């Protein structure tokens, strides 16, 4: 009987010890995994941003789906131009004298494929729609539109993924806390977001510490 009680006590001690260890180590392990995966996701979002900015520079608007964006990277062309100030004399019929006119002259210097300019020897653009987390088969949500802002029509885009997808195999209680994060050094909210559908922005909702993680 005494031996049985001792065995039970040893089992209880082991259980309590594990619970204490897990309560301490769990958040540490969660944060480590979170930061590693966030860095991977954010780096992929930066690839998308680079392609979207080029798309807007060439076409005047952002792509609203990844097929169009990949096709643009593979087939788009940058026009290289040089702008220079110039001036000339023009006869003014009102004042009956030659007057100096100042203009900006745009010279076309040549053309460069978008693929060679942005992704030379780099095929990362082909999989930029995919969320880069092992064990996850999901794509980023991508939207683009033209909105009215301060009297102007301006292009905007937004790319996002839910944290619950990125951290799909992590502790649910810790994930819930992470979704409620409001901090200057954290990724606030329940999603990792690049751009905005209501503001003119190509920024993400992550802190600058993640910008230093990519060369």
Confidence class of residue 155 from pLDDT cuts 50, 70 and 90?
very high
**Do 55 and 103 belong to one domain?**
no
**Do 52 and 141 belong to one domain?**
yes
At 96 the pLDDT is: 78
Q: Which residues contact 30 (CB under 8 A, 6 or more apart)?
A: 167, 170, 171, 174, 178
Number of domains in the chain: 2
**Do 147 and 60 belong to one domain?**
yes
**Do 188 and 103 belong to one domain?**
no
**Do 98 and 172 belong to one domain?**
no
**Do 71 and 150 belong to one domain?**
yes
- Cα–Cα distance between 78 and 111 in angstroms, integer? 6
Range of the domain at 58: 39-76+121-213
User: In this predicted model, which residue has the larger pLDDT, 11 or 121?
Assistant: 121
**Do 185 and 104 belong to one domain?**
no
pLDDT, mean over the chain: 87
- Cα–Cα distance between 200 and 187 in angstroms, integer? 20
**Do 47 and 138 belong to one domain?**
yes
**Do 61 and 130 belong to one domain?**
yes
**Do 197 and 97 belong to one domain?**
no
Average pLDDT over residues 139-155: 96
**Do 91 and 126 belong to one domain?**
no
pTM: 0.78
Q: Is the pLDDT of residue 48 over 60?
A: yes
How many residues are given for the chain? 215
């Amino acid at each position: 009987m005494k031996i049985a009680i001792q065995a039970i006590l040893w089992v209880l001690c082991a259980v309590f010890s594990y619970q204490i260890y897990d309560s301490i180590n769990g958040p540490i392990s969660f944060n480590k995994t979170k930061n590693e995966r966030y860095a991977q996701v954010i780096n992929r979002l930066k690839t998308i941003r680079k392609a979207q900015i080029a798309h807007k520079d060439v076409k005047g608007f952002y792509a609203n789906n990844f097929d169009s964006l990949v096709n643009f990277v593979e087939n788009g062309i940058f026009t290289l131009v040089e702008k220079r100030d110039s001036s000339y004399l023009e006869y003014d019929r009102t004042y009956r004298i030659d007057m100096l006119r100042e203009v900006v002259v745009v010279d076309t210097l040549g053309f460069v494929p978008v693929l060679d300019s942005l992704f030379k020897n780099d095929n990362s653009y082909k999989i930029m729609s995919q969320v880069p987390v092992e064990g996850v088969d999901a794509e980023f949500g991508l939207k683009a539109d033209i909105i009215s802002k301060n009297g102007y029509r301006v292009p905007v885009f937004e790319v996002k993924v839910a944290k619950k997808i990125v951290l799909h195999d992590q502790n649910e209680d810790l994930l819930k806390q992470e979704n409620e994060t409001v901090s200057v050094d954290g990724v606030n909210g329940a999603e990792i977001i690049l751009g905005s559908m209501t503001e003119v922005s190509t920024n993400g909702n992550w802190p600058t510490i993640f910008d230093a993680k990519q060369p």
